[in-house]
Structure 1
Amino acid sequence: MSNLPTWALRTSVCAVLATLGPQPAFANEVTQLDEIVVTATREATPLAKAPISIGKVNEKTIAETKPTFIGQVLDKIPGVHMTDLGNEQHNLSIRQPMTYSAVYQYLEDGVPIRPVGIFNHNALYEINLPGSDGIEVVKGPASSLYGSNAVGGAVNFTTAAPSAELTWNVAGQLSSEGYRRVDAGLSNSWGDTGLRIAGYSATRGESWQDYNAMDKTGVTARLDHWLSDALLWKSVLTYSKLDTDMPGSLNESDYNARPGYSYQTFTTRQVEALRASTSLAGELNAGGFSSATLYYRDNSTYQLPSYLIFNTGPNSASGRTTDNTFTSLGLSAFHRQQWGDLKLTVGGLIEASPNDQRETNLSIVRDPKTGKYLSYKTGSVRRDYRVDLGNQAVFADANYQITRGLGVNGALRYDRVSYDFTNHLTPSATTGAASQKQSFADVSPKIGFTWDAAKNVFVYGGYSQGFTPPEVGALFSSASVPNLQSASFDQFELGARFSPLAGVKIDAAIYRLDGEDELVNYSIVPGKSEPRNAGKTRHEGIELGLDWALSNQWSTKLAGQYARHVYREYRPSPVENYAGKDIPAAPQWQGTLEIAYKPLTNIRIALETTYLGQYWMDNSNTVEYKGHTLFNLRGEYQQHGWTVWAQALNLSNAHYADIAASSYKGVGAHNGDTQDTYSPGAPRSFFVGIAYAFDGKGAGR
């Protein structure tokens, strides 16, 4: 095969496990000088040389932060903000407002965690973070590599490989606000085979919020087997289960006077998700690398959600339950070949995902004095249908080095998305459309350049396009199916990574992202609406990341952005026109700054501030959320395998909202108690924890 030694062969294979995750522990003998990412090109690339805007949260940052919510580490990436909606529920902002729309692709080892057509903005509660050794975020359209919904960006969690020797760890923590959690992990290798299992169990009882209990379990198992020095067989199983109350939002008066109050007493979300994949990847020919991944998903989500409860009178309300299940079977494969300065990757995907949805109407009793919803009775079945979701794709990516410092790259992907809809009820305005088939075909191009402008100065730029097909709910919710097409998004970006001084790393990017044919829920007449491709938006901004090691004791990290998100066209009814207005929930300024101090090698203290700027709550740009600044203090001490830590989140006990919205249309009187909603943020909270890790050498590490 090759005259290289075994460890070198395995290192080279690990360096190109594009969709298969991080470098396995067998290559630990080699010191990795550069941060490596795989999501940008499906190939291991030094982060400093990635040809598009991408950020990474590495294993060290995760260990230092000890997040109980993924947003606590994702927000450390410039241009990324994850909204905390409680108990791991969330939405996300990457080159988009804080949105619930299907404009992101969530992946595990390069495989989407959900099928196309049934996007869930909360889907990252299906991730088991202890199973990962890093998170990579492509900012802006990545549809040329990852298909539909990868418009604002793609978020990829890379699973951690087994260790070369026996290691295990256990940790426990608790908070002043009722949060309890236990983590555990075990890893070992036997010759050419390695196994790693890691997971956690968390619960929340009584807390600052009246109705907010939660139980969450997550576990990931990864099995690696080297069939030869250059061919890895990897299998991953991830399971998660979440059972949480849904306290909902508050009106203006209650948000200001009693932010821990909740109108809810029975709303719930129950999620169970299983993902399994097995893959082969390696160097099967000279200059080539091949990968094939077979994957399976099984997911069920039952909800009686707070956001589907509507007042119908002083002591009554309506609501509904939703029960959504899907399974998926898919195959993703690619081959990469290099001929001198030209590198070409070709691949494809095929996936089938049967999806069943059932909704039941509820009549609800409401206490007019307290505003609480007390009880409910089950009514008629509102929806009952199946959709057979299909996705087929082919893609190609090419990179050519014109000179030693100048390269060009391009990519093209074709996707076909199909919906085979079967309605088990008689079609109507409420039960949905008649049984039928719909399909959408989209081509996603990308072209760019890279330039080593000077020593420690790397410049990149280019154009990329993404797309989002209509979701199942938009297509089949009414008796008549609207004539919809995929929304498209065109982006131009220019970025640079450079190191002007020793110990200083700067990552900066500027972009403009235009959306076309975006869906608008158009009100034909009061009480009757339909989705239309009637929206155009513009998203433009500057992102800046700074990593500065001032000395062996002091370091600082900054992740910040300035952005504008504007409607170019947006007419949701015959009498409303918001063209030129800022999009709601779109702060112009956002950032995170951390200053860390290590007086000794085994002690770390960090002060972090997070800032979210002012934004409009309504389309008419009349109702304003003022923004907020939070402070977090973290400290830890390590000795002989033991780690003890303490954290104070929201140190100044600021009163703030994780997200705020208003239905006010800019006409008539504004009433904050009937038109505005606030999701209150947690008050000052203290966390303490202890962990022990065994390093496989007969002692703790």
Structure 2
Amino acid sequence: MSSPQVKSVIRVLAIAVAASTTAAAAAEQRLEQVLVSAKRISEDASRLPLAWSVVDQSDLDLIGPTHPNEIMQQVPGSWISRGNGQESLTALRSPVLTGAGGCASFFMAADGISLRAPGFCNVNQLFDANIVQAGRIEVIKGPAGATYGSNAMHGVINILSAAPKPGAGQQLAIESGPDAYYRGKYRLDHVEGRHGVSLRMNATTDGGYQEESGFDQQKLTLRHDYDGDVWAFRSVVDAANLNQETAGFIQGFEAYKDSALRRSNPNPEAYRDVWSLRMYSKASRELASGQRLSITPYLRRNRMEFLQHFLPWKAVETNGHESLGLRTALHGESDRLSWVAGTDLEYTDGWLKENQENDFSPNQPRGTHYDYEVKASVGAVYSQLRHALNERWTLDGGVRLEYTHYDYENLAEDGPACAPTASACRFFRVADRSDSFTDWSVNAGASVELRPDHYAYLRLANGFRAPDTSELYRLQSGQSVADLDSEVIDNIELGLRGDTGTGLRYDLSVYHMNKDEVIFQDADRRNVSGAKTEHYGLEISLDYRSQGPWYSRLDVTAARHRYGNNALPLGVNEAIDGNDIDTAPRLFGSARLGWEFASRHGTAPVAELEWVYMDEYYLEPENRFKYEGHSLLNLRISSPLTPRLAASVRITNLLDEDYAERADVGFGQYRYFVGRPRSAFVELRYSWGEG
């Protein structure tokens, strides 16, 4: 982190602390923020020794996101890097992680259930979540508690379904934007007696900014709640479908500034089709001992097909999996002790095929490259407890033990996919085998109430992930066995959060993480373990609500992500120990200034101006090439027009800046996913029914 950046961060931190201490005496109400994701139950999160952020439904409605990137830029520590269409890559207390197992460092879930099965993740798995109509989004930063296992290393993104809202009735929304963008949204809430139903569905069509691009997408979430005399049930069906014509990288130094190249599509043949379904039913009841039991069976199905336009030989990959799972948990609470203990069981049948239509070279021939099936079993036991030593001090800790077993079957011919005369065949089909991994994690933390509504905490935690199936069985260049270990990460963090009682809320966290046994592809194209990385940073969130109509919010991340040894990845010939990891900006964040007008028809119109900042970042491990960064302004206005009709206008990239959503270097070329120019979106919403 550069000296000017450090000084800027220190100034912001000093202002926040000064404001909190001088106004603390005026605090009259206890700070209370509810979080579900930490232990899978609703609890007061103000005392949790844990870094977390929440995006609630009102924020989602105002943002009206066309992509998850627009939401997560309001979460310190998080950057969802936008690809073309609905594609994305994730950074959460990390660089943007790519490659076969990059997605496996994050636990992405809907109502606590992983969007994809452990071992079968995809970097674009947010395709599968109905984010725009979620009840709220909760983010845990750093290794999560014992309730989460493999993949919860850098953090958890949990999309919570909207609970049935009494009196809300129905709402239909129609939205239009540039490049033939249209979206329709429908929602229904009905509560009668002990039953409640919530339906959320939307459909989007986008003609695409670049040539021969665009997508059609549909998502649905149906939830039914029943509160019986003994048992309470929550049942959810979540489905998503995406058909996308994909635009590839535009190439050449700062090509995103070239008006002739911006709308071009070097890969007009590229596409991606995705389909997913998840179903679960959570049954819970109070026991005679005052404990609460919950049992949650679930089903998951995923399918994906896409052209690998980012590789010169452009093979087609199809993959999918089906899972059955069961989660059980027992919650207990006494005067000073609360705890949860449970088990997680899951069985998955997954498969992958890769086929190339035309010959590219003897080392990348046409035909079947891979065709395999993996049956995966995962079992875990865990316990997390919280003990209030007194009115000020609280201790929190937990442990998890998890076992993963893969049964792999090769459905193609064993060995290389090339003719015997090939000099260095790119594709190698592993013979049938089984692999098992046993991992455990532990966390411990303490929080103290410094004064009413002001808390400090210290936390130590580790996390892990078993190797992804594609890292184990999708090998190259003659590697017949990938002898991989589970990745592990150790984290220590210090946090401060509070409410001054004068309109200012603040949340600050400082962390340091070491990651070991990182899986990478070496110079011989072998998948190996043994790399190390180091991650440290500062996250700041300030939220000020004045006594008048205006408000402001600042979310800042200052971080450094570095290589921790000289385990050289493919294409790297120099020592990289201490270098920045590629696609890891040292400073980024957003600030918002809003104004709530006098209430009309029971709702206050609001106007919000947002500034989004992205620092420069390196594009490859040797730190020779950079992207210069960018600053953007967005404007959002929402207002009721009549008691039933409301409208919103959103203008993104207000100053029409030329920028890249993502930049990197590949095959010796600068490559960019181009950012869209100034765009205006208009939405009309009509509500009727109950209430």
- Whether the TM-score (by the shorter chain) exceeds 0.5 is yes
CA distance in 1: counterparts of 2:168 and 2:43, whole angstroms:
29
Tell me the amino acid that sits aligned with residue 335 of structure 2: G
After TM superposition, the structure 1 stretch with the greater mean CA deviation from structure 2, 537-546 or 283-292, is: 283-292
CA distance in 2: counterparts of 1:243 and 1:347, whole angstroms:
38
Task: Look up the match of 1:386.
Answer: 373
CA distance in 2: counterparts of 1:503 and 1:32, whole angstroms:
13
Task: Look up the match of 1:183.
Answer: 185
Q: 1:43 Cα shift?
A: 2.5
The answer on 1:413 being equivalent to 2:400 is yes
Q: 1:523 Cα shift?
A: 1.4
After TM superposition, the structure 1 stretch with the greater mean CA deviation from structure 2, 284-293 or 480-489, is: 284-293
Task: Look up the match of 1:621.
Answer: 623
The answer on 1:68 being equivalent to 2:63 is no
CA distance in 2: counterparts of 1:49 and 1:157, whole angstroms:
22
Tell me the amino acid that sits aligned with residue 493 of structure 2: E
The answer on 1:452 being equivalent to 2:452 is no
Gaps of 5+ in 2: 1-28, 417-426
Deviations 1:308-357 (A, max 9, x none): 3x1xxxxxxx2210110111000011101123322221101110010011
Task: Look up the match of 1:566.
Answer: 562
Task: Look up the match of 1:276.
Answer: 279
The answer on 1:339 being equivalent to 2:340 is no
Deviations 1:594-638 (A, max 9, x none): 100123223211100100101111111110111000100111111
Task: Look up the match of 2:382.
Answer: 395
Which of the residues 658, 666, 671 maps onto 1:677? 671
Which of the residues 309, 314, 320 maps onto 1:319? 314
After TM superposition, the structure 1 stretch with the greater mean CA deviation from structure 2, 235-244 or 496-505, is: 496-505
Verify the 8 A CA contact 2:256 2:659 in the aligned structure 1.
no
The answer on 1:538 being equivalent to 2:540 is no
CA distance in 1: counterparts of 2:573 and 2:530, whole angstroms:
14
Task: Look up the match of 2:34.
Answer: 36
Cα distance 1:354–1:143, how it changes in 2: closer, same or farther (>3 A)? farther
Tell me the amino acid that sits aligned with residue 679 of structure 2: S
Tell me the amino acid that sits aligned with residue 65 of structure 1: I
CA distance in 1: counterparts of 2:689 and 2:143, whole angstroms:
41
Task: Look up the match of 1:210.
Answer: 211
Deviations 1:277-334 (A, max 9, x none): 01112322343121111000111101113223x1xxxxxxx22101101110000111
CA distance in 2: counterparts of 1:579 and 1:358, whole angstroms:
36
Cα distance 1:337–1:143, how it changes in 2: closer, same or farther (>3 A)? closer
Q: 1:47 Cα shift?
A: 3.5
After TM superposition, the structure 1 stretch with the greater mean CA deviation from structure 2, 89-98 or 215-224, is: 89-98
CA distance in 2: counterparts of 1:152 and 1:86, whole angstroms:
24
Gaps of 5+ in 1: 1-30, 311-317, 366-376, 665-673
Which of the residues 328, 336, 352 maps onto 2:347? 352
After TM superposition, the structure 1 stretch with the greater mean CA deviation from structure 2, 157-166 or 591-600, is: 157-166
Counterpart mapping for 1:461-476 below 5 A: 461-476=458-473
CA distance in 2: counterparts of 1:551 and 1:404, whole angstroms:
31
Which of the residues 683, 687, 690 maps onto 1:689? 683
Q: Count residues with an aligned counterpart.
A: 633
Task: Look up the match of 2:660.
Answer: 657
Which of the residues 118, 121, 124 maps onto 1:119? 121
CA distance in 1: counterparts of 2:359 and 2:64, whole angstroms:
40
Deviations 1:364-413 (A, max 9, x none): 89xxxxxxxxxxx9941111110001111100111111111101111100
Counterpart mapping for 1:86-165 below 5 A: 86-100=84-98, 101=102, 102-142=104-144, 144-165=146-167
CA distance in 1: counterparts of 2:91 and 2:644, whole angstroms:
37
DSSP-derived class of the 2:471 partner? helix
Task: Look up the match of 1:586.
Answer: 584
> What's the TM-score, normalizing by structure 1?
0.87
Verify the 8 A CA contact 2:31 2:46 in the aligned structure 1.
no
Verify the 8 A CA contact 2:574 2:622 in the aligned structure 1.
no
Verify the 8 A CA contact 1:54 1:139 in the aligned structure 2.
yes
CA distance in 2: counterparts of 1:542 and 1:651, whole angstroms:
29
DSSP-derived class of the 1:523 partner? coil
Q: 1:251 Cα shift?
A: 1.0
Verify the 8 A CA contact 1:510 1:541 in the aligned structure 2.
yes
Task: Look up the match of 2:5.
Answer: none
Q: 1:256 Cα shift?
A: 3.4
Higher RCO (C-alpha 8 Å, min separation 6): 2
DSSP-derived class of the 1:72 partner? helix
CA distance in 1: counterparts of 2:178 and 2:272, whole angstroms:
24
After TM superposition, the structure 1 stretch with the greater mean CA deviation from structure 2, 339-348 or 377-386, is: 377-386
Task: Look up the match of 1:17.
Answer: none
CA distance in 2: counterparts of 1:61 and 1:49, whole angstroms:
24
> What's the TM-score, normalizing by structure 2?
0.89
Q: 1:166 Cα shift?
A: 6.2
Tell me the amino acid that sits aligned with residue 657 of structure 1: A
Cα distance 1:338–1:637, how it changes in 2: closer, same or farther (>3 A)? closer
Q: 1:143 Cα shift?
A: 5.7
CA distance in 2: counterparts of 1:133 and 1:294, whole angstroms:
22
Verify the 8 A CA contact 2:650 2:681 in the aligned structure 1.
yes
Tell me the amino acid that sits aligned with residue 93 of structure 1: A
After TM superposition, the structure 1 stretch with the greater mean CA deviation from structure 2, 149-158 or 255-264, is: 255-264
Moved over 3 A (4+): 31-35, 253-256, 573-576
CA distance in 2: counterparts of 1:255 and 1:561, whole angstroms:
25
Verify the 8 A CA contact 1:130 1:199 in the aligned structure 2.
no
Q: Equivalent pairs: percent with the same residue? A: 25
Which of the residues 541, 550, 554 maps onto 2:546? 550
Tell me the amino acid that sits aligned with residue 387 of structure 2: Y
Cα distance 1:473–1:682, how it changes in 2: closer, same or farther (>3 A)? same
Q: 1:86 Cα shift?
A: 2.8
Tell me the amino acid that sits aligned with residue 202 of structure 1: T
DSSP-derived class of the 1:81 partner? strand
Q: 1:226 Cα shift?
A: 1.4
Deviations 1:26-79 (A, max 9, x none): xxxxx9984311112323122323330010001111112111212212221211
Q: 1:547 Cα shift?
A: 0.5
The answer on 1:293 being equivalent to 2:291 is no
Verify the 8 A CA contact 2:270 2:307 in the aligned structure 1.
yes
Q: 1:643 Cα shift?
A: 1.1
Task: Look up the match of 1:266.
Answer: 269
Deviations 1:632-685 (A, max 9, x none): 011111130211111110011111111111248xxxxxxxxx422111111111
